[in-house]
Chains A and B, each alone.
Chain A
Amino acid sequence: MKEALEYSPKILVSQLIDLLFNDVIESASTVTDQSQWRAMGMQAQSVSGESTTDSMVISARLIPVLSPTLKPFVLFTSVSLSYDMVDMVSTVDPRFEAYRIMNEVSGRRVVNVEMEPAEPPLDRLEPLVTVTVDADAREALEMYVKAAQEVCGKGFILDVAWTGKTDVSTEEFIRYVARAHTRMGIPPVILDVDQ
């Protein structure tokens, strides 16, 4: 673990989470304030460091992903993220899964995740999780189509938003969205078969 972290005394919260996921560390927390972090290894080794300014922004954005019960801007403060907690969060909160999938597809360009209860007729597939990526529309929609297959059957609907310019026509937008809907298994309309 030491080797893994040694070259990166300043670390983004998202990188810390990656280390957690990849079995490099067992738990992570902030120490006293949010400028310091500490991670525990599998054999109880302890490594600490300074969080970068960026990490504060990212941590604020990740709060709803990791735990909706945490207060804003206090991610990790006196809270230890163990695997049990991650598993629990990923089971009960689709935001976590949506974040994981889109972050992988986008090359860590997720900047926000929001969830809302879906209204009828989408409520049968609810909830709707909107992931915003740091990209223009075309690139974001290509990511959306790629991610859609993995979302199928996971109990939520994925939507995508982007921070950049809207560089697609309405027709192109519809085509991207239609492909993603098909991959997620969302019926365009519900019909009886005996038509």
Chain B
Amino acid sequence: MSLVASGLYLDTSVVISLIASESCHRDVKKFMEEAPKPHYVSTWTLAEALGVLSKGIKSGKSAPGYQLLRKQMVRVGSYLSQSEEVFNYLTERLSEWIAINGIEVCDDLVNNAELKVGSRSVKTFWVIRNAAELAARFGLSAADAMHLAYVWKLCPGTFLTFDSDFVRITNLIHSFLGIKIHVLECKKK
């Protein structure tokens, strides 16, 4: 493994595999143990992860943790709406996971960039402005471009992902932005 940058930025697919996958998380954990620290996620990673996990629960996938919570809630005798319950449960799960694994969350630069739209410059978040540029330059989805924008300016390091869409632009990104992308393969057991 050769990682050129000082840290490791975790794509949402990596976070999901560590929290909610049975097939690949051991491989990822091993990789991360050998990778330089700090290990970063962004608020964008967290938002995406919450969406993916919530969608999984609500679509009726096997949900051991959530089902156990439902069973345990009999003891408090009062319930929330499902959306409140899922939100509270998953946000705390992610928060605890970050704490016990020593993951750092990149700070966003707020209200510090401008994006020219029409006849005026709109104040925007740095990362959205940069994501717009990267999406256009490399033909990325907005979601993928957001991650790359974080690694580019806010939390520099190697970008770790399971997303095979990045394979085709790995060299291009490295040449233009100096960002190393490591695409993991999941060998399902």
A interface residues (Cβ-Cβ under 8 A, vs B): 120-122, 124-125, 128, 137, 149, 157, 159, 161-162, 166, 168, 170-171, 173-175, 177-179, 181-183, 186-195
The answer to whether B20 and A190 have CB atoms under 8 Å apart is yes
Q: Is the CB of A170 within 8 A of B76?
A: yes
Q: Say yes or no for B16: interface residue by CB 8 A criterion.
A: yes
Asked whether A182 lies within 8 Å of B93 as measured between CB atoms, the reply is yes
- Give the A-binding residues of B (Cβ under 8 A): 12-13, 16-17, 19-24, 52-53, 56-57, 61-69, 72-73, 75-80, 85, 88-90, 92-93, 96-97, 100, 162, 164, 186
Given A121-B62, A166-B76, A194-B186, A188-B93 contact (CB < 8 Å): yes
Q: What is the bound-complex CA distance between A159 and B70, given in angstroms?
A: 12
Q: Is A189 touching B20 in the complex (CB atoms < 8 A)? A: yes
B61 to chain A: which residues have CB within 8 Å? Answer: 189-191
In the bound complex, CA of A179 to CA of B92 (Å): 7
CA distance A44 to B65 in the complex (A): 49
User: Looking across the interface, which residue of chain B has its beta carbon closest to that of A182?
Assistant: B96
Taking CB atoms, residues of chain A closer than 8 Å to B162 are 193-194
Please report the C-alpha to C-alpha distance between residue A170 and residue B82 in the assembled complex, in whole angstroms.
13
Question: Given the complex of chains A and B, what is the CA–CA distance between A49 and B151 in angstroms?
Answer: 69
A188-B53, A188-B57, A188-B93 known, 18 other contacts, Cβ within 8 Å: A121-B62, A137-B75, A137-B76, A170-B78, A170-B80, A174-B69, A174-B73, A182-B96, A183-B96, A187-B65, A189-B63, A190-B61, A191-B20, A193-B16, A193-B24, A194-B164, A194-B186, A195-B16
Which 7 A-B pairs give the minimum distances between C-beta atoms?
A: A178-B92, A188-B65, A189-B56, A189-B63, A121-B62, A182-B96, A193-B17
Does B53 contact A189, Cβ atoms closer than 8 Å? yes
- By beta carbon, the residue of chain A nearest B69 is A177
Q: Judge whether A124 and B53 touch: CB under 8 Å.
A: no
Write the nearest CB–CB distance from A123 to chain B, whole angstroms: 9
- Interchain nearest-CB distance for B83 vs A (Å): 13
Q: Would A121 and B63 count as touching, CB distance under 8 A? A: yes
Whether the pair B75, A161 counts as a contact (CB closer than 8 A) is yes
Please state if B62 and A193 are interface contacts (CB–CB under 8 Å): no
Please give, as numbers and ranges, the residues of chain B lying within 8 Å of A179 by CB-CB distance.
92, 96
B-side contacts of A121, CB under 8 Å:
62-64, 67
- Max chain A C-beta neighbours (<10 A), residue from B61, B65, B69, B76: B65
